[in-house]
Copies of this chain bind each other. A is one copy, B any other.
Amino acid sequence: MKSTIKDVAKMANVSISTVSRVLNNPDIVAKDKRDKIVEAIKQLNYTPNALARGLIHKRTQTLGVLIPDISNLFYAELIKGMEDAARESGNNLIICNTDNNQDRKNASFKVLSEKQIDGIVFTSEPVFPDNYELFKQLGVPIVLAATHSLEYEIPSVKVNDEQAAFDATEYLIRQGHRQIGMISGSMLDPISGLPRIQGFLRALRTHGIELDPDTCIEYGSYHFKDGYEAVKRLHKKFPEMTAVFATSDERALGCISYLHENKIKVPDDISVIGFDNTRMAGMCFPKLTTVAQPLYEMGQLVIRKLDRMINGEPLEELRTYMDHWIEERETVYNLTK
């Protein structure tokens, strides 16, 4: 049986108040008693009950994290950053896998609320009005990771997707490509869909490249298989393309897999650039050139922001946009040489 503060008090022959004091403010108690109490704590292997403490302090040092798909490598890096930052600030994470499912999302909010978490991080998905209602009901600080909201005043940390897509496309153009295809998420996705398409098209425009969006863009979900299928359709309707911008590493790998199978060489025949720079990008063959997001650092920053809000400290900025960069590896061919 776990020992309680009462057991310690009894063993040390003091009141529980005094035990509580050596736990929270040791200097204030007389050395002899303090020593006896410390000894009793060790003997009994006592650890304070965080539930009781939480009830009093209205603080649990626990943060809730909503993740759409925990088996995605993207979140592995992000979670690691959050986990490390949480440890630094004395917090623990309860991670809820929502499976892109609204019911599970609601259920997660409910248990997190019951467990009295101090704050919440909401990942990747757009904030719809009903989500916002839930946030307000929860009544705890919230930070958005890898997503943001322009409608609501919610702190967020992400990359500038439009600019990142612009840079990726421009990078291909600088390597001499002009027939460029894109494999994208839905235009209806206001976070990683539409903005990346806009960035892509802006780069084309900026460099005077005229391509019909209907023929140079193909859509699909972010899974490997979807990248595979999308590039098949894309290649069929746009056979002259020399490069493709796939807006996730997984899509890019699916894309490369299809091309390989059809004896189309990457990058010699068709170049591929991905998005995310998950660890996979450096482990595949050929190694994937990709738009890098600082996932680990994003995770850290999200938790640090959240911790500030919980402590009532002011935020330097509401919406933080972190720097992305092009991680040059082996899947883009330089046509200008």
Binding site for B on A (CB under 8 A): 1-2, 45, 47-52, 54-55, 60, 62, 70-73, 75-77, 79-80, 83-84, 87, 92-97, 104, 107, 110-111, 113-116, 137, 139, 224, 250, 253-254, 256-257, 260, 279-280, 282-287
Known contacts A51-B54, A51-B60, A70-B79; 19 additional CB pairs below 8 A are A48-B114, A49-B55, A49-B116, A51-B52, A55-B55, A62-B94, A62-B115, A70-B76, A71-B76, A71-B80, A75-B76, A76-B76, A83-B96, A87-B107, A93-B95, A253-B283, A257-B283, A260-B286, A280-B284
- Among residues of B, the one whose C-beta sits closest to the C-beta of A112 is B92
**Contacts A/B (CB < 8 Å), 27 sampled:** A47-B110, A48-B114, A50-B111, A50-B115, A50-B116, A51-B51, A51-B52, A51-B55, A51-B60, A51-B116, A62-B94, A70-B76, A71-B77, A71-B279, A73-B279, A73-B280, A92-B94, A92-B96, A94-B94, A224-B279, A250-B283, A254-B283, A256-B285, A257-B283, A257-B285, A280-B283, A280-B284
Q: How many copies of the shown chain assemble into the complex?
A: 2
Contact indicator A83/B60 (Cβ below 8 Å): no
B contact residues around A114 at 8 Å (CB): 47-50
- Among residues of B, the one whose C-beta sits closest to the C-beta of A136 is B45
Main secondary structure of the interface of A (DSSP, over half): helix
Q: How far is the CB of A248 from chain B (nearest CB, A)?
A: 12
A52 to B54, CA, bound (A): 9
B contact residues around A47 at 8 Å (CB): 110, 113-114
A315 to B271, CA, bound (A): 54
- Among residues of B, the one whose C-beta sits closest to the C-beta of A72 is B76
A97 to B91, CA, bound (A): 13
B contact residues around A284 at 8 Å (CB): 253, 280, 283-285
B contact residues around A76 at 8 Å (CB): 70-73, 75-76
Best-buried of A70, A84, A104 by chain B (most CB within 10 Å): A70
Q: How far is the CB of A283 from chain B (nearest CB, A)?
A: 5
A48 to B80, CA, bound (A): 31
A77 to B137, CA, bound (A): 32
B contact residues around A111 at 8 Å (CB): 50, 92
- Among residues of B, the one whose C-beta sits closest to the C-beta of A228 is B283
Contacts A73-B76, A283-B280: A83 and B97 contacting too (C-beta < 8 A)? yes
Contact indicator B80/A70 (Cβ below 8 Å): yes
Contact indicator A95/B97 (Cβ below 8 Å): no
B contact residues around A280 at 8 Å (CB): 73, 280, 283-284
Q: Identify A139's interface contact among B2, B95, B285, CB under 8 A.
A: B2
Contact indicator A92/B115 (Cβ below 8 Å): yes
